[in-house]
Amino acid sequence: MAIHPILEVPDPRLKTVSTRVEAFDDELRTLVADMFETMYDAPGIGLAAIQIGVPKRVLVIDLQHEGEDGEPVRTPRVFINPEILDPSNEHTLYNEGCLSVPDQYAEVERPSTIRARWQDLDGKVHEEAMDGLMATCLQHEMDHLEGVLFIDHLSRLKRQMVLKKLEKLRKAA
């Protein structure tokens, strides 16, 4: 297993449209293991393969909740070739961040609930209704598979502000 560097804006590879997974093999298992290790190290609640430079339709998500002892409990989930079905007409705002746009946050509006269909590491198909942070996070991650970042949902002015702030922070570092 390995922690990979996370691509950051304006890396053009983040605009890649990722391709479907056809082979459910050991190489895929290694990729997913590396994605979890990289996501937990960052730390983040989700990661798309393209964020470590692999243009495949693979996502990992772990929303982690607090256990009774106050310790975080991990709930690792893998989504391969995910699809969104029946997004709700109702939308919700969430203050989103992204490991590829470090330390920047902005409100993004997305459908409140969705149904998701995806494959697991064995290629088995799953379907589930999602809401709350899980619905938001899955939609954020699915955007990465299309080469879209949360800042692409903002007005051009707001997007430029975020990118300018990031540039400034990098120069100061």
Q: Report the site for ligand GNR in 57-96 (rule: CB under 6 A).
A: 94, 96
Check residue 97 for interaction with ligand GNR (CB under 6 A).
yes
Check residue 137 for interaction with Ni ion (CB under 5 A).
no
Binding-site partner at residue 36 among Ni ion, ligand GNR, none, CB < 5 to 8 Å by type: none
Check residue 98 for interaction with Ni ion (CB under 5 A).
yes
* 59 DSSP 8-state letter: E
Whats the size of the chain, residue-wise? 173
* Count of residues near Ni ion by CB under 5 A: 1
Please give the Cα distance from 55 to 136 (Å, whole number).
22
Single out the residue of 110, 144, 159, 162 in contact with ligand GNR (rule: CB under 6 A). Answer: 144
Is 107 assigned a catalytic role? Answer: no
Element (H, E) at 79: strand 77-85
Considering the candidates 8, 37, 127, 141, report the single residue annotated as catalytic.
141
Q: Helix (H, G, I), strand (E, B), or coil: what is residue 21?
A: coil
Q: How far is the CB of 90 from ligand GNR (least distance, A)?
A: 18
Buried b (16+ CB within 10 A) or exposed e, 29-47: eebbebbbbbbbeeebbbb
Check residue 46 for interaction with ligand GNR (CB under 6 A).
yes
Please give the Cα distance from 127 to 148 (Å, whole number).
24
Q: Which residues are catalytic?
A: 141
Q: Residues interacting with ligand GNR, by CB under 6 A? A: 44-48, 51, 94, 96-100, 136-137, 140-141, 144
